[in-house]
Amino acid sequence: MLNLVLFGPPGAGKGTQSEKLIRRYDLVHLSTGDLLRSQIAAGTELGLRAKQLMDQGLLVPDEVVIGMIDCKLRENQQAAGFIFDGFPRTVPQSEALDSLLVEYNTQITTMVALVVEDEELIRRLLKRGETSGRPDDQDEVTARRRVSVYNRETIPVADYYNQQGKYIAIGGIGEIDMIFETICQQIEAVATKKA
């Protein structure tokens, strides 16, 4: 199985690159942000509670997102692999993901981290807000809070995978297709080494 964690701050291009990666490698895309937004759209209790945190740019509790991922892994047992987008965002989420994957006799192949400097992220989030309709993309205070939550709570996840020798950093500024090809080269180098 090819199990990728696509990592990076909000606005780094994870969603865009995920779309291309799932097509090239036939992976199931698991974006906790998308899963939470569909709960909000469906008006569920979980969605209502998550929305209050999401709209402020804060993380929802670990057990909520871990539960959603657990459910999706169960539903997609025949998958060729997964791409985790926006998950894990904390070290406890990373530990929970590792344990869940053990249940399916698999593991994370590699983490690909998209690196983009903070001010460029703020510009991208506000630009995306012009069309995304996402409340958390609309104003600079929320955009900055999301970036600082990432720097404070999520960066340790990179160290977690680095310690496992599974961390690859890729510059996230430039042509989308060029970044995509760089990601693919790196993934294939890892897959060849493991084969």
Minimum distance between the CB of residue 148 and ligand AMP, rounded to whole angstroms?
12
145 is a catalytic site residue: no
Regarding 89 and contact with ligand AMP (CB under 6 A), the answer is: yes
Among 3, 17, 18, 32, binds ligand AMP (CB under 6 A): 32
194 is a catalytic site residue: no
Residue nearest to ligand AMP (CB): 33
Regarding 9 and contact with ligand AMP (CB under 6 A), the answer is: no
* Annotated active-site residue in 49, 51, 72, 128: 128
Axis crossing angle, helix 91-103 with helix 155-163, rounded to the nearest 10: 50
Joined together, the tokens standing for residue 107 give: 């593991």
User: Which residue is listed with tokens 């892994």?
Assistant: 73
123 is a catalytic site residue: no
23 is a catalytic site residue: no
Neighbours of 162 (CB within 10 A): 14
Candidates 20-28, 30-38, 164-172, 178-186 — which segment interacts with ligand AMP by CB under 6 A?
Answer: 30-38
Q: Write the single-letter amino acid at 108.
A: I
Where do the DSSP E strands lie in the chain? 2-7, 28-31, 81-85, 110-115, 167-171
Query: What are the angstrom distances between the C-alpha of 195 and each of 2, 97, 109, 148, 189?
Result: 12, 23, 11, 38, 10
Among 9, 86, 129, 172, binds ligand AMP (CB under 6 A): 86
Euclidean distance between CA atoms 25 and 41, whole angstroms: 29
Altogether, the residues listed in the chain come to a count of 195
Minimum distance between the CB of residue 43 and ligand AMP, rounded to whole angstroms?
17
Query: Could you tell me if residue 89 is left (phi over 0), alpha (psi between -120 and 50 degrees) or otherwise beta?
Result: alpha
Regarding 36 and contact with ligand AMP (CB under 6 A), the answer is: yes
Between 93 and 190, CB nearer to ligand AMP: 93
Between 50 and 190, CB nearer to ligand AMP: 50
Which residues are at the interface with ligand AMP (CB under 6 A)?
10, 32-33, 36, 53-54, 57-60, 65, 86-87, 89, 93, 136, 146
Positions marked catalytic: 14, 89, 128, 134, 146
